[in-house]
Amino acid sequence: MTELLLVLCLPLIGAFTLGLRGDRPWAAEANASFSLLTLLAALALTARVMSLGPQVVLAELFFVDAFNVFLVALTAFVGFTTSLFSRVYMRVEQDRGRVTVRRLRLYHAMYQMFMFTMFLALLTNNVGILWVALEAATLATVLLVSLYRTPESIEAAWKYFILCGVGIAQALFGTILLYVAAERVLGAGGSALLWTHLYEVKDQLEPTVLGIAFVFLLVGYGTKVGLAPLHNWLPDAHAEGPTPISAVLSGLLLNVALYAVVRNKVLVDAAVGNHLPGYLMMGFGLLSVLVAAFFLYRQKDVKRLFAYSSIEHMGIATFAFGMGGPVAAFGGLLHMTAHSLTKSAIFFAVGHAVQKTGTQVMSDIRGLIHHSPAVGWGLMIGGIAILGIPPFGVFASEFIILTTAMRDHPWAAPVLLLGLGVAFAAIFTRLQAMVFGDTTAKRLPRPPALLPVFVHLLLVLVLGLYIPPYLAAWYRQAAAMIG
Amino acid sequence: MSTPLVGQIINLLAAVLLLIVFAMLAQRRLLRLIHLFALQGAVLTLNTLVVAVTLHQSHLYFSVILNLVLKVIVLPWILIRLVDRLDLRRDAESVGNLPLIMLVAVVLVILSFNVALPISELAGTMTRGTLGIAMASVLISFLMMITRRKAVAQVIGFLSMENGLFFAATSATYGMPMVVELGIALDVLVATFIFGIFFFQIRETFDSLDIRNLENLKDRE
């Protein structure tokens, strides 16, 4: 199946090409071109899966179904728009002498490598390879977090490396336990770790072992999702790295880690039959929403603010998948999409705002709207969208999740509402001051890349107003599978 | 070889592994720590070899070679070269309240055996009794990462944790499928290289490899 191979190979070829030639002036354009080609391949793959249904290819190495093909398309899309933003952003950073040409080569090569690990994690049929790909994603991004070589960025990268490394080691232990249980049913050898085989026998797997395995898997991959209390690496890594990396960490990595949790949850749910995985995920989700909401209040740094907001939203999505059932899963999927698009758009706007004002401290960013109305409006609209104000997509998904929570788990609804309310107050007041008020912004030598911001926000608006029937069908299909 | 004898050998090697991980927890000198890490890799390889030969698990030969090359030769060699280039050969650090740390480690061992009990009853392998030890090695390595203040020692804790996980895979299932094992080995190797790059970045920026320099990022008031 050529499309699938292209989706995997293009970023890999891109990584090696840019690793060798990434110091040339056209490296940023090459990065964007590789991302565009990957996006086209991903769209072709999506079209194929939508017409032919789920597929297992290449001696069962890879598989695509409604759930992962939707994330592949989203990942490729955000990867492409971020590469457009990064083209302008990194040029400005280079002009200012914050990065050298050699570090830009590393940056571009690792950007493509990160995209490769994301696609590998999504498309692989092997539970073990999923682990390998997620660990490789940390390895690809860790040197990017420390790209500026400031003391803060090195500290952030070290923390990211150690915490995610330790976290994901727990997930490996969980995977080993899963293999122990699967081996008894499927026999030793490769097939006992393949999703497609595991799903066929999911109700025959040993419940005790799978229950213990799920705790390790949830803690392990949950560290990467940024669930409280394992979220410590996330704000630092987002705040100290280059902004395009913050955008892909928030928009893509967290989603893919959550994908790993949800895939395992479906398996364990069927095996244990007592809804324990669901309650664990709901607990972690609610805790993340609350912790993030109250930390939001204390933030002074604009990128840390939106990093905590990512923790909050991943908490909401985890809660939704934890509730289970097709409606909640539909809401969770929609929330993943809307959050990914909105948050990356916000990081694009924040990136330009920080370059214009020369600071990440919120009290020093003032009056964006006077000097650069487009950046100001981009940030304002993005902020409104992420706070869940209608008519944007985040509102639609939060509405679905909240109403389902009220029906099925009424005790959880007030907690969610409290978290959302506190987050709203914390972000909105900051946003207003940054966008309006007296200006501190300066003109930049290069025009900002605002197309990605508004394209993303337009898509989120469309998701809120009207979900096209084929997209809704696709979500429903995926939701039925994981609900 | 008779089965009880094989069982005895495997249990003996597992016990040696547990002792090594305790020794690592208490070892203050960096160079000795690396030697212990290499020894841990060697015992692990020997254990895998015994399982492969006596229980006719031919796919484990591949793991034996991978382990021998990666954990006994390549990783310790990289670490020793790093220590040389960073001029840390004589480096030692205080480990803190050692008796307390040892007590915590003992509690971790008891805990691991309890958690591992239901799993090892189900596992169909002859080596299943050692799963508790594997889990204890993982947790004690984790404890070592928490108690150390020097970056290199933390990384050795990280690698020793990976060794514990590998041991868990051999004792509970006779090893993971080959493609997964290769992937994990590749990740560990790349991670060690990146850790090496980091040591230089940290030293260049802070003039020392003390992690206490890396505790400034908080939510600033």
What's residue B120's pLDDT?
Answer: 75
Whether residue A162 contacts residue A194, with contact meaning beta carbons closer than 8 Å, is answered with no
H-helix segments, A22-126: 27-52, 66-95, 101-123
> What ipTM was estimated for this complex?
0.88
Nearest CA in chain B to A239: B217
Residue B219 maps to a domain: no
CA angle A47, A48, A52 (to 5 degrees): 120
What's residue A56's pLDDT?
Answer: 80
Domain count, chain B: 1
* Rg of chain A (C-alpha set): 21
3-state secondary structure of A65: coil
Residue with tokens 């030793």: A188
Half-sphere exposure of A153 (CA within 13 A, CB side): 18
Residue B19 maps to a domain: yes
A381-to-A375, A386, A402, A427, B106 alpha-carbon distances in Å: 10, 9, 23, 13, 56
Residue with tokens 């004690």: B140
CA distance B147 to B104: 11
**Which of B162, B172, B215 is the closest to A176 by Cβ?**
B172
Q: Kindly state the percentage of chain A with pLDDT values over 90.
A: 27
Q: Is A59 an interface residue toward B (CB < 8 Å)? A: no
Residue B81 maps to a domain: yes
Half-sphere exposure of A91 (CA within 13 A, CB side): 17
How high does pLDDT run on average in chain A? 86
Query: In this structure, what DSSP letter does residue A87 have?
Result: H
CA distance A299 to A360: 11
Residue ranges making up the domain that contains B64: 3-214
Name A162's Cβ contacts closer than 8 Å, sequence gap at least 6: B145, B154, B158
Least confident among A199-203, B23-27, B120-124, B160-164 = B120-124
Residue B82 maps to a domain: yes
3-state secondary structure of A360: coil
What's residue A445's pLDDT?
Answer: 66
Q: Kindly state the percentage of chain A with pLDDT values over 70.
A: 98
Domain extent listing, chain A: 275-483
B165-to-B51, B135, B153 alpha-carbon distances in Å: 16, 7, 19
CA A416 to centroid of chain Cα atoms: 21
3-state secondary structure of B217: coil
For residue B178, which residues of chain A lie inside 8 Å, CB to CB? 190
pLDDT in tens, A34-56: 999 999 999 988 888 878 777 78
CA distance B187 to A145: 18
What's residue A260's pLDDT?
Answer: 93
What is the identity of the amino acid at A452? P
pLDDT in tens, A157-166: 888 988 888 8
Which of A 199-238 lie inside 8 A of B, CB atoms?
206, 208-209, 212, 235-236
**Token pair of B94, please?**
């205080």
Residue B26 maps to a domain: yes
**Token pair of A356, please?**
């214009």
Contact check, Cβ <8 Å, B194/A131: no
